Amino acid sequence: MAAVLLIDDDVELAGMLADYLRRDGFTVTLAHDGESGVQAALSGQFAIAVLDVMMPGISGIEALRRIRAASRLPVLMLTARGDDMDRIVGLELGADDYVPKPCLPRELAARLRAILRRGVANADPQAEIAVGPLSLQPAQRRAYWRGQAVELTSTEFNLLEVLARHAGRTVAKDDLSQQALGRPLARYDRSIDVHLSSIRQKLGPLDDGRSPIQTVFRQGYQMIAC
Q: What per-residue confidence (pLDDT) applies to 124?
A: 46
3-state helix, strand, coil in the chain (%, to 5): 40, 25, 35
Residue 193: φ, ψ to 5°: -60, -40
* Domains observed in the chain: 3-121 (3.40.50.2300), 129-223 (1.10.10.10)
* C-alpha–C-alpha distance, residues 88 and 131, integer Å: 29
Give 18-54 pLDDT, tens digit per residue.
Answer: 999 999 999 999 999 999 999 999 988 898 999 999 9
Mean pLDDT for the chain overall: 88
| Predicted local distance difference test score (pLDDT) of residue 165 | 87
Structure confidence at residue 149 (pLDDT): 94
Cα angle at 153 between 149 and 155, to 5 degrees? 125
Segment 88-103 shows an average pLDDT of 89
Give the model's pLDDT for residue 225. Answer: 80
Q: Is the pLDDT of residue 202 over 80?
A: yes
What's the predicted TM-score (pTM) here?
0.66
pLDDT confidence tier of residue 123, bands split at 50, 70 and 90: very low
φ and ψ at 148, to 5 degrees?
A: -100, 135
pLDDT classification of 119: cutoffs 50, 70, 90: low
C-beta neighbour count of 226 within 10 angstroms: 14
User: Model confidence over 165-201: pLDDT tens digits?
Assistant: 888 888 888 888 888 888 888 877 888 999 999 999 9
